[in-house]
Amino acid sequence: MAKITLSCIKADVGGYVGHGDVHPEMLDLARELLGASSLLIDYHVTRVGDDINLILTHREGVDSPKIHGLAWETFKRVTEVAKRLKLYGAGQDLLVDAFAGNVRGLGPGVCEMEFEERPSEPVIVFMADKTEPGAWNLPLYKMFADPFNTPGLVIDNKMHKGFDFVVHNLKENTQIRMSCPEELYDLLMFIGAPHTYVIKEVYSRELGEIAASATTTKLALIAGRYVGKDDPSLIVRCQSGLPAVGEALEPFAWPHFVGGWMRGSHCGPLMPCTVEQARPSRLDGPPRVVALGFQIADGRLIGPRDLFADPSWDKAREMANEMAYIMRRHGPFEPHRLHLDEMEYTTMPEIMRRLAHRWQPIPEPGETAKELVASGRASATGDGSEVD
């Protein structure tokens, strides 16, 4: 039987209201367009916050120009709805209007994998809003490398050999493959810096199969300026030598802090929630993650089951709210506000330029203000008022 490909292609092409949701007309049109395509075996259109996710099954393989073209065309057409309704940021993730066979590098995020369908093929599609691709580093590490999260690593023969991680350096555009458990500590050195290093894929060493694939698009790196957060998605295959559904979900029981939230410039907790609850409104957040489970049957998407729609996640949501309060208390201070290098919005260059002349050297011990001026290291008034 030919292999099937599962693709999740996502973009924010307009927010309702502000950056919190997608208008139902946009989703309806996306469904209509995908439904009319003969390329797909099946599809599911959903959203998290202001991001539309197109979950597609087909036999065209990964990086297929036809499939990427279909997604691109869908987002373009949906943008027209957003424009007509004057929704916020219409078309914001379609950065380059020059589709040439692949949506990578153009704005939309993509994660996809091709595999031979197993006798039973349970998968989870995780989708997040108000955060960045590195947000998956910690949960992927826990799912595939932490026995305190995933008992199967210890007690399942098919998992005991561990997993390989493919890590991208988003700033250098390079990648490395690392084998765990042997290289756990080396891996952590990189993925603990999630703004730069992100896990792209995970492979089972026993089965030689792909187990997870994540979006790694960094919009700011494509456009050279802030254009909206690169809210990420992630596909995880489950069971029979891969993490059980419950092991793949378990990392989200302990919400962790991620970069994103208001103006993509704040650190906040990643709250697991249902699709229905994924309409962030507190300071445009806090960041959300939803998890949709499907069984794949001959390429058909059986489902979804909204996996965080279970009272056992209430505590995690409560914890995330507590964490949000703790962070909010810091207002414009780090660690709530991201480090200067990671803020998506900043007034710093402008403020620096305006105040540059008022920055004066600190006198050496015993040095007077006069001597400082005489040495030529400071301006006469000391406050720079004669400059500019």
Site string for Mg ion, 163-202 (x = CB under 5 A): ----------------------------------------
Interface with ligand F6R (CB under 6 A), residue from 10, 19, 142, 237: 19
Interface with Mg ion (CB under 5 A), residue from 21, 121, 201, 231: 231
Interface with ligand F6R (CB under 6 A), residue from 142, 168, 263, 336: 263
Among 56, 41, 47, CA closest to 9: 56
- The entry of Mg ion, ligand F6R, none that residue 284 binds, CB within 5 to 8 Å by partner kind: ligand F6R
Contact range with Mg ion by CB under 5 A, out of 42-50, 135-143, 164-172, 179-187 = 42-50
Active site residue 12: yes
> Does residue 228 belong to the site contacting ligand F6R (CB under 6 A)?
yes
> Residue holding tokens 């007690």?
155
Interface with Mg ion (CB under 5 A), residue from 21, 42, 50, 230: 50
Active site residue 229: yes
> Does residue 130 belong to the site contacting ligand F6R (CB under 6 A)?
yes
CB 89 to Mg ion: min, Å: 5
Interface with Mg ion (CB under 5 A), residue from 8, 16, 19, 190: 19
Single-letter amino acid code for the residue at 22: V
- How many residues bind ligand F6R (CB under 6 A)? The answer is 10
Interface with ligand F6R (CB under 6 A), residue from 82, 262, 273, 296: 262
CB proximity list for 294: less than 8 A, separation 6 or greater: 44, 55, 122, 123, 124, 125, 301, 302, 303, 304, 305
- The entry of Mg ion, ligand F6R, none that residue 264 binds, CB within 5 to 8 Å by partner kind: ligand F6R
| Active-site position among 197, 229, 230, 306 | 229
Interface with Mg ion (CB under 5 A), residue from 60, 114, 129, 284: 129
CB 22 to ligand F6R: min, Å: 13
> Does residue 230 belong to the site contacting ligand F6R (CB under 6 A)?
no
Active site residue 158: no
> Does residue 264 belong to the site contacting ligand F6R (CB under 6 A)?
yes
**The dihedral of CA 5, 215, 123, 25: what is its sign?**
negative
Residues 83-102, interacting with Mg ion (CB under 5 A): 89
- The entry of ligand F6R, Mg ion, none that residue 18 binds, CB within 5 to 8 Å by partner kind: ligand F6R
Contact range with Mg ion by CB under 5 A, out of 126-134, 165-173, 242-250, 299-307 = 126-134
Whether residue 176 contacts residue 167, with contact meaning beta carbons closer than 8 Å, is answered with yes
Whether residue 144 contacts residue 160, with contact meaning beta carbons closer than 8 Å, is answered with no
Query: HEC states along the chain?
Result: CCCEEEEEEEECCCECCCCCCCCHHHHHHHHHHHHCCCCEEEEEEEEECCEEEEEEEECCCCCCHHHHHHHHHHHHHHHHHHHHCCCECCCCCCCCCCCCCCCCCCCCEEEEEEECCCCCEEEEEEEEECCCHHHHHHHHHHHHHCCCCCCHHHHCCCCCCCEEEEEEECCCCEEEEEEECCCHHHHHHHHCCCCCEEEEEEEECCCCCEEEEECCCCHHHHHCCCCCCCCCEEEEECCCCCCCHHHHHHHHHCCCEEEECHHHCEEEECEECCCCCCCCCECCECCEEEEEEEEEECCEEEEEEECCCCHHHHHHHHHHHHHHHHHHCCCCCCCCECCHHHCCCCCHHHHHHHHHHHCCCCCCCCCCHHHHHHCCCCCCCCCCCCCC
Is the CB of 19 or the CB of 200 nearer to ligand F6R? 19
- The entry of Mg ion, ligand F6R, none that residue 262 binds, CB within 5 to 8 Å by partner kind: ligand F6R
Interface with ligand F6R (CB under 6 A), residue from 284, 289, 320, 327: 284
Interface with Mg ion (CB under 5 A), residue from 4, 5, 11, 15: 15
Catalog residues that contact ligand F6R under the rule CB under 6 A.
Answer: 18-19, 130, 228-229, 260, 262-264, 284
Residues that bind Mg ion (CB under 5 A): 12, 15, 19, 49-51, 89, 129, 228, 231
**Residues identified as active-site:** 12, 226, 229
